[in-house]
Amino acid sequence: MANYTLTYSEELLGWTSFHSYTPDWMAGLNNDFYTFKNGKVWKHNVNTTRNNYYGVQYDTIIETVFNVEPDQPKMFKTIKLKGKSAQPWSAVVTSDLSDGLIAVSGYEKKEGNWYGYVRREDGDLDPTFLSVQGLGIVDTATTVLDTVVITIIGNVTQGVSVKTQSPPQNNGDLLFAGVISGSSITSLGPKLGQVSTISYDSVTNTTTIEMVNHPYTGAAPTPPSIGEYLISAKSSVAESYGLRGSYMNVRLTNSESEHVELLSIGSEIFKSYQ
């Protein structure tokens, strides 16, 4: 369990912050702040390197909660950061229904502010999402070198994305062996691979899918069993649409060692109707 140093404000009459450093002793002298660690004395706030204590560089972390109209289900679509920093703050967000994130690379700077769309984790899939669709019962499945050739009776090509030949080369729909109850998908089995090609033969009324490896699935694609129900799913990152829930807990992290400012945190929020 991590140890922290806590700051108490006599003006606010409360505990205002956590600090990553844990000194052996602290003292104030002539308006300067000193700490002692492993027999050495350290004077704080005398250099330009921020968040470096006793030779260890730490991150800055701020955590807050968006809780407007707590009894209403909402969609939290974005995070807006107002302040001064060379790089935006990465964000990990959670709610009572789901979780997500915004990587540093997921922000854009607009009029001096950082804007980012809340994304789901890679591989975070839910059978209730519109990005997940059932294809049909596996008729045949044959492995040819590093490719699995699957056939399904009927035309199930609509809405299925195939792997591109240029980077990132992992944007073909993921294929799963799924479990269905009536007309609903109740759960997803193991990830099998990604769609490389898909075609329909009207003469035989058969759809042929070539499936190859995907980064989530291991070294080689896994052939489904004949009679299993095949399911395809879009990339959870590309198909993200925000974070659903009654509230959104936001944990922001900044790794810069220079002076930064964070004046406010905002989000585009609207009522969820799903």
| Chain segment 172-187, per-residue pLDDT in tens | 888 888 776 666 666 6
Let me know: does 177 contact 228? Beta carbons within 8 Å. Answer: yes
Q: Which of 244, 237, 235, 234 is nearest to 267 (CA)?
A: 244
Question: Over 90: is that where the pLDDT of 122 sits?
Answer: no
76: number of Cβ within 10 Å: 23
Phi, psi of 168 (to 5 degrees): -85, -5
Rounded CA Rg of the chain:
26
pTM here is: 0.69
Q: What is the pLDDT of residue 36?
A: 96
pLDDT of residue 124 exceeding 70:
no
8 Å CB contact between 246 and 74: yes
> Quick one: CA dihedral 127, 132, 133, 139, positive or negative?
negative
Q: Does residue 202 have a pLDDT over 60?
A: yes
The pLDDT, as a whole number, for residue 53 is 92
Cβ distance 143 to 220 under 8 Å?
Answer: no
Q: What are the extents of the domains in the chain?
A: 5-57, 61-120+240-271, 132-233
Report the range of poorest mean pLDDT among 14-18, 131-135, 146-150.
131-135
Residue 83, phi-psi category: left (phi > 0), alpha (psi -120 to 50), beta (remainder): left
**255-273, pLDDT tens digit by residue?**
999 999 999 999 999 887 6
Contact 265, 252 (CB under 8 A): yes
**pLDDT 10s digits, 156-175:** 999 898 887 666 556 788 88
Residue 251 has pLDDT above 90, yes or no: yes
CATH class as words, domain 132-233? mainly beta
The whole-angstrom distance between residue 208's C-alpha and the CA centroid of its chain comes to: 33
